[in-house]
Chain A
């Protein structure tokens, strides 16, 4: 991990409110694992003061320029504009200076080759699942169950398909794929592939529902959590979640940034996971 003082290579809106940003990051691929994240410094001046955490969508190389220089290695983020920081990010252009601290945290355990894998993504939660799919599809059959509010929240499905991932889409309003919850699809898939390992990232209620399906079946489940973060490196203790067996006398608090963001379901105290309240946009400075 290091602090890359680098620049934006490209930044595009791909669906209303969703953007993809490529950042120059030499050597990043070598050291990062699927499920890790970065702390992104939106701009060198204030505000916002603190960095913002983002998952790693993918790493790659730009096609070589005709300048004869080696191809540029990039890190790609996919983000949703929800407030001030992401708003400023969406206005960044090629060549703008940014800082990226990472890769941070623990990523996914990619499990056994050949094992069936089911990825469950809710909205922006697909981000770490894409870098995971890049890895898993090398050795396993991978299925993606993708949920969102409307069709605008369903992203990058064709890219998953290009990797050979079988995808199933559901939306709350039925504007794309099946109408309803992604968890209904998960029930059916687990009935059919009872030995599959499940990987999930999305809003906490979705993760809880996925856990409630997997736990009684004894299905292996890894989840990627979000938390408000100040440091991203385990120093501020702002991002803790309760681990299994937590009590006041014997605190079992896990830093989402350092011991996560990916956790095995059995590490967490599911009955006491606190949902971060949804602040209204613009309330956060």
Chain B
């Protein structure tokens, strides 16, 4: 028997932990790839052991220089970026960035990509025996240089092929990150589920463009870039809703999350966890605030386990 006080304490500390493809997260909040560096950049501002997981900047086989500057442009309630996937390369990551992450008691999920099918396979292989890597997130929103630059993630067959290859090369939990720049995202979602993905994260950025009217030049050196931030949230919520209904594997919601209320929207439409991107730039403590806000919401609503919220949408 519990006395009243214990009963109350129990009620006031809801369970926030969730599982994604066998990765145990202490809460459903993690950074979105490319907005959190390799973790250490934010260590002075945020308790890295207070978030569910750490997701790295997207890695490739070789170091990558990325695009010329300007690479960023603010737009209404959002930002365009064309960083061009600049990264240190998978080997330098393992050698120089992983030792810092090893000391942190939070699962590390490595985001990666390739310019060719073979490159995807090779990066997966290099990550496969690294014990500190809890899981990988496959970014299929990049152009396939061998196939004339068609984006892997916009062609269900190419998406399925790359996921199957990576699946063969790595036994760790495999999350596939979908691009929203398609007509029907559920088609890609089903294709990657069938090819062996353990979870799906969506959405990556929406392709956009902004022009300086006086110089008549694009505001990004790359002409186009990916839109992120609050401007894309309603689209992301809609897509997560669709994907969660289309597949059986867990979905991670990403896109424009600034506050706990935004994260809750994604859980309610069916996401098991969320990723926070652009908000980290605005407030480096954003994720801590979102975790606290989710907990507070559960207490106020009398919810003892955050998992009760997942897919609880009333229609």
A2-B45, A46-B230, A49-B77 known; A277 vs B70 contact (CB < 8 Å): yes
Report if A27 contacts B (CB, 8 A). Answer: no
Report if A66 contacts B (CB, 8 A). Answer: no
Residue among A48, A230, A241, A247 having the largest count of chain B Cβ atoms under 10 Å: A230
Q: Mark B64-99, 1 if CB is under 8 A from A, else 0.
A: 111011111111111101010010000000000000
A residues 225-255 near B (Cβ < 8 Å) are 227-241, 246-251, 253
Q: With the chains together, A73 CA to B68 CA distance in Å?
A: 40
Report if B311 contacts A (CB, 8 A). Answer: no
| Contact call A50/B86, Cβ cutoff below 8 A | no
Q: Which residues of A contact B41 (CB under 8 A)?
A: 231, 233-235, 258
Q: Which residues of B contact A231 (CB under 8 A)?
A: 35, 41, 280-281, 284
A residues 41-77 near B (Cβ < 8 Å) are 41, 46-51
Interface residues on B, range: 35 or more
From residue A41, how far is it (CB to closest CB) to chain B in Å? 7
Q: Which of B66, B213, B281, B283 contacts A283 (CB 8 A)?
A: B213
Report if A3 contacts B (CB, 8 A). Answer: yes
A273: nearest residue on chain B (CB-CB)?
B69
| Contact call B65/A283, Cβ cutoff below 8 A | no
Q: With the chains together, A251 CA to B68 CA distance in Å?
A: 12
Report if A271 contacts B (CB, 8 A). Answer: no
From residue A31, how far is it (CB to closest CB) to chain B in Å? 11
A274-B68, A274-B221 known; A99 vs B283 contact (CB < 8 Å): yes
Residue among B66, B68, B70, B81 having the largest count of chain A Cβ atoms under 10 Å: B70
| Contact call B219/A283, Cβ cutoff below 8 A | yes
Q: Which residues of A contact B81 (CB under 8 A)?
A: 230, 236, 238
From residue A252, how far is it (CB to closest CB) to chain B in Å? 9
Q: With the chains together, A239 CA to B77 CA distance in Å?
A: 20
| Contact call B63/A49, Cβ cutoff below 8 A | no
Report if B229 contacts A (CB, 8 A). Answer: yes
Q: Which of B72, B217, B230, B285 contacts A277 (CB 8 A)?
A: B217
Report if A1 contacts B (CB, 8 A). Answer: yes
Q: With the chains together, A249 CA to B229 CA distance in Å?
A: 32
Question: How many A residues face the partner with a CB closer than 8 A?
Answer: 44
A231-B280, A238-B83, A280-B214 known; A285 vs B74 contact (CB < 8 Å): yes
Q: With the chains together, A249 CA to B61 CA distance in Å?
A: 12
Q: Which residues of A contact B285 (CB under 8 A)?
A: 3
Q: With the chains together, A278 CA to B219 CA distance in Å?
A: 10
Report if A159 contacts B (CB, 8 A). Answer: no
Q: Which residues of A contact B212 (CB under 8 A)?
A: 277, 279-280, 283
Q: Which residues of A contact B213 (CB under 8 A)?
A: 280, 283
Report if A101 contacts B (CB, 8 A). Answer: yes
| Contact call B79/A49, Cβ cutoff below 8 A | yes
B88: nearest residue on chain A (CB-CB)?
A251
From residue A197, how far is it (CB to closest CB) to chain B in Å? 29
Q: With the chains together, A248 CA to B70 CA distance in Å?
A: 17
| Contact call B281/A236, Cβ cutoff below 8 A | yes
Report if B156 contacts A (CB, 8 A). Answer: no
| Contact call B44/A1, Cβ cutoff below 8 A | yes
Q: With the chains together, A237 CA to B83 CA distance in Å?
A: 7
From residue B51, how far is it (CB to closest CB) to chain A in Å? 14
From residue B41, how far is it (CB to closest CB) to chain A in Å? 4
Q: Which residues of A contact B219 (CB under 8 A)?
A: 277, 279, 283-284
Q: Which of B36, B66, B230, B284 contacts A49 (CB 8 A)?
A: B230
A residues 257-285 near B (Cβ < 8 Å) are 258, 274, 276-280, 283-285
Report if B34 contacts A (CB, 8 A). Answer: yes
Taking Cβ atoms with an 8 Å cutoff, the residues of A that contact B are 1-3, 41, 46-51, 99, 101, 227-241, 246-251, 253, 258, 274, 276-280, 283-285
Taking Cβ atoms with an 8 Å cutoff, the residues of B that contact A are 34-37, 41-42, 44-45, 57, 62-66, 68-79, 81, 83, 86, 212-215, 217, 219, 221, 229-230, 278, 280-285
11 A–B contacts, CB within 8 A, in A order = A2-B45, A47-B76, A228-B69, A228-B71, A231-B280, A235-B35, A235-B42, A237-B86, A239-B69, A276-B70, A283-B212
Identify the 6 closest CB pairs spanning chains A and B, nearest first: A280-B214, A251-B65, A235-B37, A238-B72, A231-B281, A235-B41
